[in-house]
Amino acid sequence: MHKKEGKFLSTNTVNSKESIQLGLVKTINVGVRDGHGGESKYWPLCDDRYFPSKGSKRYLDFNAWWEEVVFLTPNASLTRQDLVLQMANKDGGAHVDAKVEEKYDRFRNSWVAGSSLVGIKSGTVRGYDNIPTYPAIRQIAFELLASLQP
């Protein structure tokens, strides 16, 4: 059987009430006290230490899965295909290229300084320790492995 002919697991979550969609990752804040210390990260949904209920599970044809939008902001959207190919070919997978596709670069840079926590009492602003692209690749690998198991 040609592997593209099977069904592929999608754990992508979509909330129509939110303008920013991080379908394959969520945020965790472990040990953060009023904006200080601990970990504040984007994390793949497959890690049951933080997300015991695996959330949304659907099975799609390969093309629908590969081309499904997994990140959406007011300025950019990325599919699994966009994310995997940009990271593999230009952003450290096979090599690092100074020039990546504009929509991937816009998305990647929007998270470097654009998302943060604010301490309720102190008002301390703390950014996240990573950007969501790498944990999303981990989640895509989880989906792919689950899809290809006999």
Q: How many domains does the chain have?
A: 1
Q: Which domain holds residue 106?
A: 3-148
Which DSSP letter does residue 91 get? B
Q: How confident is the prediction along the chain (150 residues), in pLDDT tens digits per residue?
A: 456 788 999 999 877 777 677 888 888 888 888 878 888 888 898 887 877 765 678 999 999 999 999 988 777 788 999 999 988 876 666 666 677 777 777 777 666 545 677 888 888 888 778 888 889 999 999 999 999 987
Lookup: tokens for 101: 């596709």
**Alpha helices, DSSP H only, in 58-121?**
62-66, 80-89, 102-112
pLDDT (0 to 100) of residue 14: 78
Distance CA 89, CA 100 (A): 9
User: What's the pLDDT tens digit per position in 45-63?
Assistant: 888 787 776 567 899 999 9
Distance CA 91, CA 1 (A): 32
Phi then psi for residue 25, to 5 deg, are -140, 160
